[in-house]
Structure 1
Amino acid sequence: MTRPVVVLSRDEWAPRAHDHEQRAARYADPFVARRHRGHKHPVEDFLFTYYTLKPAQLKRWHPGAGTVLLDAAERAREKFYRPLTGSELAALGLTVRDGAVVVDDGAFRDRRAPAIDFARAVLGAHAGNPGFFGCFGLHEWAMAYRSGDNDLRHEQLELRLGAAGTDAVVESARIRCTHFDAFRFFQPQAVPLNELQPTRESQRRMEQPGCLHATMDLYKWAYKLVPAIPSELLMDCFELAWDVRETDMQAAPYDLTGWGYEPVRIETPEGKAEYVRRQRDFARRAQPLRRRLGAALEVLDPARATDGAAA
């Protein structure tokens, strides 16, 4: 290792692993229980069904790159972990008997280079572009536009304003969605109504901090860097995404009052103002997480680090 490292005894890292598991279980375990019963939740399932990190993976603690775990020889069998070399052990005053392991960030960097590069580009755009706070969550309305009762994205929910009322909101609004992974779910009839036509490639330059979905995606970029980032950072991103998802669905055209969610009525001036207030708060909360993700990218690949990702 050519950089300073942190060395944790089992007495130091095991409680952190336990605390992380409990923190993640608060969200993961109810989802798993619902899935076993065949039940769905229109808000709380999203981070487990849309994103690809499994509940058990979310609950697994990792210290991140550059941290040595002692008495952890069993973890050397995990993907992207390795035991310390003889020279590394000697430099730290350790022996093989100490069971020292570390994240193999070199192997991770070699295998995940495209993901690292894409995350760096998107986070740089997210930091460097001005925030747009005039979308009012209309992406969800565009996904329901002229869909009919049998073609709704959330088939178990009813539209608050009905199909005609939902269509009227879309047709009277300015739709300016910058996020490809929201835009790609628009109903075909709504696609030409969007002022922009984002693509996967343009995502590298179009991400912006006002977008709720871009903020939720901080969680995606975090788990794509597992195990090379600390699990505490992963959960901070997850919990922000959890809060964002609640607002995302409260501002959607669906009636969620039966699930305990009051609507953010973006079809009214008051609702628009409330949406923007929350949008700005989420953008503020995302800033330090984006900086921490940028710092993690710099540790992984300092030669290619950019100021934008860490801004």
Structure 2
Amino acid sequence: MTAGPAAQPIRPRQPAVLPRPAWEAARAGDLARLRPLADERIRRASRGEKHPVHDFLFEYYSFRPAHLLRWTPGADVLLEGASPGELAWSEFEPADGGLLLPAAAFPAHRVEYLRWAAAYLDAVAAREPSFACLGLHEWAMVYRDPNVRHPYVPLRLSRADTDAVVESQPLRCTHYDAFRFFTADAVPRNRLELTRAATSEHDQPGCVHVTMDLYRFAYKVAPFCPSGVTADSFELAAAARAIDMRASPYDLTGYGYEPIRIETKDGREEYVEHQRVLAARAAPVREALRAVYGRLLAAVPG
């Protein structure tokens, strides 16, 4: 195993200054990236419609569209000429003719979370990626069980053939939040018996779900995380979720998604290639989040 770069001590910084034209342009750019899926979710909810790929981004992850569209430059950035009515986050304070969110204002009762999350991100960054799971987690969630997580979407194969795919290969899931949805018959087939407490010991950067979860680390510290980083992680989560579900046993052709047929050799190779691309794309997002968490920890007491 090759260790990732050691996190360097981060000194509290002086506020960066964004002139009004610069922060208005940054806000417009970030919102243009976030608005399409957020607005689509709002319209879909008003019609009572389901989407097996995109709903995950707003149901499994607990950040509402309205909050996703609240723009922020992050902590310690002075927005010149900004007034309270122009930002939806009440945490910003008047300062030097504009608004500022001091990193030191991060809530004291959440500092323990900051420490855990920073250590988790460091541990994942230092771990070698693994591409051995072959996307079987969604198959393990329906194994030998008449109930499915997306009952309004048909399976691609018969129930017997779906179960046979799970039985044809060992399960190598390393991510607890996927493993916890395995059916009772699938759980003992996994190479590891995963637990919530051991999450930091097993999560690794090749995992599609670990890549998706970078979005959670962005919004968990809103508005102290810049919207640009949140947008990067949200777009990454959307891409990872699409790969996740294309490789699943569900038939999503009606939603415009061609399957990655992991029940075949070519499909497994295709899935691994997608994993590698996602892992490479996730690396700079993870580093940006490590920097956000590191700066917050450097600014808060204790």
Q: Who is 1:47 aligned against?
A: 57
10-19 or 260-269, larger mean C-alpha shift: 10-19
Say whether the 8 Å CA contact 1:80–1:108 is kept in structure 2.
Answer: no
Percent identical pairs in the alignment equals 47
After superposition, residues 262-301 of structure 1 pair within 5 angstroms as: 262-301=258-297
Q: Who is 1:38 aligned against?
A: 48
The count of aligned residue pairs is: 289
SS in 1 for 2:262: coil
Mapped to 2, the partners of 1:241 and 1:181 lie a distance apart of 15
Q: Who is 2:184 aligned against?
A: 188
Mapped to 2, the partners of 1:18 and 1:137 lie a distance apart of 36
**Whose relative contact order is higher, 1 or 2, with alpha carbons under 8 Å and at least 6 apart?**
2
- Relative to the length of structure 1, the TM-score reads 0.88
Q: CA RMSD of the aligned region, Å?
A: 1.9
Q: Deviations over 1:82-113 (max 9, x none)?
A: 233xxxxxxxxx4xxx2x22113223152421
Following TM superposition, the consecutive aligned residue runs of length 4 or more in structure 1 with deviations greater than 4 angstroms are: none
> 5+ unaligned residues in a row in structure 1: which ranges?
85-93, 305-311
In the TM superposition, what is the alpha-carbon distance from 1:290 to its structure 2 partner?
0.8
SS in 2 for 1:301: helix
Mapped to 1, the partners of 2:90 and 2:119 lie a distance apart of 26
Q: Who is 2:126 aligned against?
A: 128
> 5+ unaligned residues in a row in structure 2: which ranges?
1-10
Match of 1:61 among 51, 61, 71: 71
1:5 aligns with 2:3: no
- Relative to the length of structure 2, the TM-score reads 0.91
Q: Deviations over 1:96-143 (max 9, x none)?
A: xx2x22113223152421331232122122111221111011110000
Distance 1:134 1:13, change over 3 A: same
In the TM superposition, what is the alpha-carbon distance from 1:73 to its structure 2 partner?
3.4
Mapped to 2, the partners of 1:2 and 1:165 lie a distance apart of 57
Say whether the 8 Å CA contact 2:17–2:80 is kept in structure 1.
Answer: yes
Q: Who is 2:93 aligned against?
A: 82
In the TM superposition, what is the alpha-carbon distance from 1:237 to its structure 2 partner?
0.7
* Structure showing the higher helix proportion among its residues: 1
Distance 1:2 1:296, change over 3 A: closer
